[in-house]
Amino acid sequence: MQVTPIEITPGLIVLFVIIGICAVALLVFVIRWAILAHRPQVAAGKEELVGRTAVVTEALNPKGTVFIEGERWAAESEEGRVKVGDEVTINRVESLKLYVTKK
C-alpha cells in the first residue's frame, strides 16, 4: 500500500492560515473570559462597610459624621467622644447610620 503525498497548493496554505488565525482568536477570547470571570466582585451596599475604617469629619459626641469611600455618613460612637480626623472602625449599619468605635 502506497501513500500518496498531499499536494500543497496556495489554496491549502490560505486555509491553514485562516484556521490558525481563528484558533488563536478563540484562544484569546476564552483566556480573556476566564480572567474576567475570576476577578473579585465589586462590593456594594451598606453591609460591606462593616469592619472598614472611616475618618471622622464632624466630631462624634456621640453623633456626628464620618467619611468613607468618598461618601459622608451619619455616625454614632459606641464609646463616647471621637475627635475630627480620628479613624474609627464601623461595627454595624442600621438604616443610614453607622455605629463606630475609635480605632
* Per-residue pLDDT at 75 exceeds 80: yes
pTM: 0.58
Q: Provide the pLDDT for residue 2.
A: 79
Per-residue b/e over 14-52, b at no fewer than 16 CB within 10 Å?
A: eeeeeeeeeeeeeeeeeeeeeeeeeeeeeeeeeeebeee
Number of domains in the chain: 2
Of 5 and 1, the one with more pLDDT: 5
Q: Identify whether residues 61 and 15 lie together within a single domain.
A: no
State which residues form the domain around 24: 8-39
Does the residue 2 lie in any domain? no
pLDDT in tens, 15-61: 999 999 999 999 999 999 999 888 877 666 777 889 999 999 999 99
Q: Provide the pLDDT for residue 24.
A: 98
Does the residue 19 lie in any domain? yes
Strand 63-68 relative to strand 71-77, pairing: antiparallel
Q: Identify whether residues 34 and 51 lie together within a single domain.
A: no
Q: What is the grid cell recorded at 82?
A: 471621637
Does the residue 33 lie in any domain? yes
